[in-house]
Each structure stands twice: as structure tokens, then as C-alpha cells.
Amino acid sequence: MGTWGTITFTEIAPGKVRARASFRDMDGKTRQVSKFGTSKASAQRALVETLRTRTGFSTNLINADTKFIVACEAWLREIEQSDRAESTKNQWRRCINNRVRTSIGDLAISEVTIPVLDMAIASVAENVGPGAASTYKTVLSAVFGHIVRLGVIPSNPVAQTARLKSKKGEKRPKRALTADEVSTLLALLKSDAQARETGLTDLVTFMLGTGVRIGEALSLRGQYVDFSTHTVTIMSTLSDGKGKGVFVQDKTKSAAGYRVLALNRQIMDMLVRRSQMNWPDNSQGLVFPNSLGHIWQRGYATKELRRVLDPAGFSWVTFHTFRKTVATRLDEAGLTAREIADQLGHEQPSMTTDVYMGRKVVSEKVIDPLSW
């Protein structure tokens, strides 16, 4: 495949010569390919160049001469049909439209070489930041993976690009709350009437007692709280989709995110109380809805968190800090990396040990360390 036979020439008219050869395409079919020139030599040059770049012919009409953005759009259509999280699809779609299209989108696939990719990725890192550059590189690698599978090119050039580096001093170590800081923070939230009314106090209490992600907490439905066994099943998160807005996605960020967690008495008492509350409309049965009973979007929850914590000297605390705090407390209590990873919903314990300090197994060892 990807080879051609003897080139023949036919003089169509004075000063017009046709060069023709049989070419075996990547789908296994042999096709006649022709090019014209003013002489045998010019026609042959044109034909050989066409045959050389035709190696990547595929039935979906993507080849080495296709614009890179066309390949990106084909990849996006494939991703849209996958079971990827809507938030991930949206992030990748924005990256294609806002960054790839305006940088290297108009280049032919054959022109998107390793040096070109290096410059494009470095430009995003310099002008936007290492986080955006990392996403950009991930998307480029995925698109080229799609192109390789089509047989257009033999290998993924993104794998050979330079490693991304964070700017010196930019990455700050993540900080966990100490036991005294947790007590102070919870007392602050309990003393704030608006925080109690919006549910922020209960939300933070739940997160500090479980280590769940903010999206997992805000999407939690009452039906997944088992009051008889004092457990909660984490099996959803918040997402946003094109034309859908924010919605409850009935699957977690990853397979490891689906888990059953043991709850202490303090958390259970709070959940019992919230199960008896009434909202104007809570048709989804959310445990932590907004004041109307609808989905409490994380942006509004974050705004409420900042209102309470920033004036009190906790401006460095985010919802993610509570996960870090849970991981730290459990580590101090002697739980293994695997047990802590199961609590947080990490597939690999290395993620837990490297960043924060599973097997769908309930562990009652977490109850005492997470009782404030």
C-alpha cells in the first residue's frame, strides 16, 4: 500500500502531456492517478509529488494535504459520540475553536511538523499560561492520534515535542487546613446567618467530612444517602453541555469516582435535617440545592464561600482545599495511600500521594479522623 507502478505518458495536445500511474491506496484499492504538464518531465514531477503525498489517502477524504482544522473537526465529531464528560467535550471544543483554529488550523497536515508544534505550544504557554498549553498539547496529541489511525501519517509528532515546563516559582504547594483552622472556619460559617440559609455551612461540613469534589457534593441526590447504614454513594457530578446549561451528570469524573463512603454521626445528623427541609422546587431531590431548590452552580457557591472567608483571613481556602485537608487528616491517622485514594475517588494512589498528601469499598477508618 502507498506505492505506484510504471508511469505512462500521453500527449493530449501540443504542449499538454498527461502522466498516469496506478496507485494502491491505504484502503487496499488500486486507482489511476493522473497529472498534466507542458512536457513529460513537468507532468512526471507533478504526478510524483501527488503520489508522494497521497500515501495518507483515506476513505473519509482526509490526507496529508487536508487542512489541519478539518482533521480537528472530524475528531470532534468522533468525540461528540463518545461517553466523555460533557465538561471535557466543551473544554476540548473551546480549545479547537479558540486556539488551534487561529494558530495552526489553516496549515496542511503535512505542514504541522514537530518544530511548528513546538512553536505553537510554546506560544500558548507564554501568552496564556502552562495550564492552557497543557490542554492545547493534549488536544493536539488526540487529534494526531486520530490522524494516525486513519493511516494519513505513521506516527504522532506531538510525542516528540518539548516537555512543558512551569515557570519558576509559579507552582505553589497546596496547603491543608490545620485542625484549629477547621474549627475556626466552621465556627465562622455557623455564625453567619446567610451561610446557614444558603446551605454553605452544611456543604462545607459535608466536604470536610468526606473529601468529595465540589461537583460531586452539589449533584448529590437524597436517594443516594443510606440512613440505615450511615453511608453515601457518590455516583454523579455537575457538568455543562452545549445548549444544556449546567446539569447533573449521572456518572463521576472517572470510574474510580464511583464509591461508597462511611459517614460520621455529625454528617448524618446534618443530612437527616436537610432531608426534612422544603424548597419551592426540588424535583431532582438534591441535598445541596440553591434557595429555589434548583442546581446550585459552583460559581455561585464559590462566590458565597469568598464572601464569608476572605474577610476572615481565609482567602487562600477554596473548595479544593477541603479535599487536601481530608487527605492530610487521613494520612496523619495512618490510613494507607490506597485507602485515602478510595476515599477521594482516585484511580491511582500516586495521584493521592503526589498531589494530595477505590475500589468502591466502605472504610469506617475514616470516621474518627474526619470528626471535627
- Among 59-73, 264-278, 350-364, the range scoring the smallest mean pLDDT is 350-364
Q: What is the pLDDT of residue 360?
A: 41
The model's pTM is: 0.61
Band (116; pLDDT cuts 50, 70, 90): very high
Band (72; pLDDT cuts 50, 70, 90): very high
Task: Average the pLDDT over 266-293 and give the result.
Answer: 93
Kindly provide the b/e burial profile for residues 8-32, where b requires at least 16 CB atoms within 10 angstroms of the residue's own CB: eeeeeeeeebbbbbebebbeeeeee
Task: Average the pLDDT over 116-142 and give the result.
Answer: 93
Q: What is the pLDDT of residue 358?
A: 31
Number of Cα atoms under 13 Å in the Cβ half of residue 112: 32
Q: What is the pLDDT of residue 362?
A: 46
- Give the pLDDT confidence of 196-243 residue by residue, as tens digits: 999 999 999 999 999 999 999 999 999 999 999 999 999 998 887 666
Task: Average the pLDDT over 36-43 and give the result.
Answer: 92
- Helix, strand, coil proportions of the chain in percent (round to 5)? 50, 15, 35
Residue 92: phi and psi, rounded to 5, are -70, -40
- Whether the predicted pLDDT of 103 surpasses 90: yes
Q: What is the pLDDT of residue 354?
A: 53
Domains and CATH numbers, the chain: 8-56 (no CATH), 68-160 (1.10.150.130), 179-366 (1.10.443.10)
Q: What is the pLDDT of residue 369?
A: 66
Contact 318, 301 (CB under 8 A): no
Q: What is the pLDDT of residue 213?
A: 93
Average pLDDT, the chain: 86
Q: What is the pLDDT of residue 361?
A: 40
Closest CA to 330 of 352, 359, 315: 352
- Among 61-75, 168-182, 269-283, the range scoring the smallest mean pLDDT is 168-182
Closest CA to 128 of 94, 161, 157: 94
Band (50; pLDDT cuts 50, 70, 90): confident
DSSP string, 71-113: HHHHHHHHHHTS---HHHHHHHHHHIIIIIHHHTTTSBGGG--
Amino acid occupying residue 273: R
